[in-house]
Structure 1
Amino acid sequence: MLTLAIDTAARFCSACAWDGKRVLGVEERDIGRGHAEQLMEVVAGALAGAGRAFSDIGRIAVAVGPGSFTGIRVGVAAARGFGLALGAPVVGITTLEALAEDARGVAAGALAVAVHGGRGQVFLQSFAADGAPVGEPVAVPLEEAASLVAPSIGCIAGNAATDIAAALGRPVQAVLDRPTGSITTIARLAERSGRRPVPLYLRGADARPQSGFALPRTGSGA
């Protein structure tokens, strides 16, 4: 089955075509903003690199956050739209679980993922050595994040890792200075994820319903 993974939850606009065994095509742009304007080109680039057509897609994977609120909405809306058009399942992958999976490739043992969330906050979640999440992700002030990192954790991944490692006052490995995991990892994780494609914002004040978020239904008489 061909999986199309997309990630617009942070500064990157990324897409990957994955056939269950290997990456067939990848397109990634470090754009900061403007995901809605570039996503379709990025998807087209990944499919072209794979030598596949849009109609070949059998599954959609999308990064659901936490991250940029606008970016998350763009990605989730696009993924749902693709799923409706293709009759394909859509699964959500969090940016934190993708980062944790990437970190397992460079460090062993239990780890934490910490990503800057704006407004002086950090998105934080811990993971066991086998990659299973330990508790729910949280948004906490940067100065409080270190107090939530268990003594058993020897590695912190993400673009807030260095700050938190310095605050711990003990040897901790800081890896992967990124706000999200790799797009290829998001594609791979889709094969074992049952998460619905629902945005994960973590900050309630910024998660107000958006009147333009729902996809319009199309068809005769619509």
Structure 2
Amino acid sequence: MKILGICTSNNSCSVAISDHSSVLAANYNVEPAMQAQYLVCMIKKTMMQAKVTFEDIDYLAVTQGPGSFTGIRVGLAAALGIITVSKIVPIVISDFEVLKFLIKQQIKGVNIAFAIINAYRNKVYLQKFDFNSSSSFQAVLIDATEAVNLILNTKSLSGCAGNATKMIYELLVTTTTTIPNNIFFLPRFAYYDARPVCRLAYQLLASKQSYSTELCPLYICNRDFKHWKLEYR
């Protein structure tokens, strides 16, 4: 089972190819807002390094945001072009889910995950995940101070990750004299590449969980989110 992973949400560009959960090749470009220029070449380069063709690829996992909206559309448009002329099955993954996956891998026994993405102007995109519950929390666009209060009110073992984590931590330090010992911040996951996207896609497939195939960016506004659908059939 070979998976092509594309991640363009973090104002950067990354491509990876995995065979089941093992990454065969990966490339990452950190130049901001250059996804349109580099993505196609990076896909070709990564496929050459992994010694595969499009006929060998079974699934294409791509991030849908939120994040760099232009970059997200570049990634989704590339995915649309690939699956239109092939039999590759798309797996569309929110960046919240990628961060949840990374937090779960990093913190043993974690109960709550906060995926926090910078929306600028002192606002963040936030989604809370409870690993002990089947219910889900809606992704929201909120003030950074409101996010701090939400995190402080959580008593379970919690992990926070995303490119707004540093801002939230600094605000939290000014709010309380002592950081609660049940809250862990993971600054190393402020940015990530396509490798965990491939691994998460494989986990969804291996565990027979449902996943989205709709190539549409995740747009969050006014405490709600919308999917803008790109037709490919």
TM-score by length of 2: 0.80
Trace 1:16-35 onto structure 2 (pairs within 5 A): 16-35=16-35
**Which of 166, 169, 174 matches 2:185?**
174
Matched positions, count: 213
Task: Give the structure 2 partner of residue 203 of structure 1.
Answer: 221
- Tell me, in whole angstroms, the C-alpha distance in 1 between the residues paired with 2:166 and 2:227: 34
Question: Do the aligned residues in 2 keep the contact of 1:57 with 1:86 (CA within 8 Å)?
Answer: no
Trace 1:1-222 onto structure 2 (pairs within 5 A): 1-108=1-108, 109=110, 110-129=112-131, 134-149=136-151, 150-166=154-170, 167=172, 169=176, 170-171=179-180, 172-191=183-202, 192=204, 194-196=211-213, 197-203=215-221
Partner secondary structure for residue 62 of structure 1: strand
Question: Do the aligned residues in 2 keep the contact of 1:98 with 1:182 (CA within 8 Å)?
Answer: no
- Tell me, in whole angstroms, the C-alpha distance in 2 between the residues paired with 1:14 and 1:85: 22
Residue type of the alignment partner of 2:4: L
Partner secondary structure for residue 52 of structure 1: coil
Report how far residue 147 of structure 1 moved: 2.1
Structure 1 residues 179, 202: CA separation in 2 closer, same or farther (over 3 Å shift)? Answer: farther
Residue type of the alignment partner of 1:19: D
RMSD: 2.7
Unaligned runs of 5+ in 2: 205-209
Structure 1 residues 130, 43: CA separation in 2 closer, same or farther (over 3 Å shift)? Answer: farther
Report how far residue 78 of structure 1 moved: 1.0
Residue type of the alignment partner of 1:137: A
Question: Do the aligned residues in 2 keep the contact of 1:125 with 1:133 (CA within 8 Å)?
Answer: no
- Tell me, in whole angstroms, the C-alpha distance in 2 between the residues paired with 1:53 and 1:70: 27
- Tell me, in whole angstroms, the C-alpha distance in 2 between the residues paired with 1:82 and 1:133: 34
Structure 1 residues 100, 214: CA separation in 2 closer, same or farther (over 3 Å shift)? Answer: closer
Deviates more, 1:166-175 or 1:2-11: 166-175
- Tell me, in whole angstroms, the C-alpha distance in 2 between the residues paired with 1:83 and 1:64: 16
Report how far residue 35 of structure 1 moved: 0.6
Task: Give the structure 2 partner of residue 220 of structure 1.
Answer: none
- Tell me, in whole angstroms, the C-alpha distance in 1 between the residues paired with 2:135 and 2:26: 27
Deviates more, 1:24-33 or 1:109-118: 109-118
- Tell me, in whole angstroms, the C-alpha distance in 1 between the residues paired with 2:7 and 2:101: 16
Question: Do the aligned residues in 2 keep the contact of 1:77 with 1:215 (CA within 8 Å)?
Answer: no
- Tell me, in whole angstroms, the C-alpha distance in 2 between the residues paired with 1:132 and 1:61: 24
TM-score by length of 1: 0.84
Deviates more, 1:162-171 or 1:56-65: 162-171
Question: Do the aligned residues in 2 keep the contact of 1:112 with 1:153 (CA within 8 Å)?
Answer: no
Structure 1 residues 216, 152: CA separation in 2 closer, same or farther (over 3 Å shift)? Answer: closer
Structure 1 residues 148, 138: CA separation in 2 closer, same or farther (over 3 Å shift)? Answer: same
CA offset digits 1:44-68 (Å, max 9, x no partner):
1211111112332111110000101
Structure 1 residues 3, 9: CA separation in 2 closer, same or farther (over 3 Å shift)? Answer: same
Residue type of the alignment partner of 1:90: P
Structure 1 residues 177, 132: CA separation in 2 closer, same or farther (over 3 Å shift)? Answer: farther
- Tell me, in whole angstroms, the C-alpha distance in 2 between the residues paired with 1:184 and 1:92: 15
Identity of aligned residues (%): 28
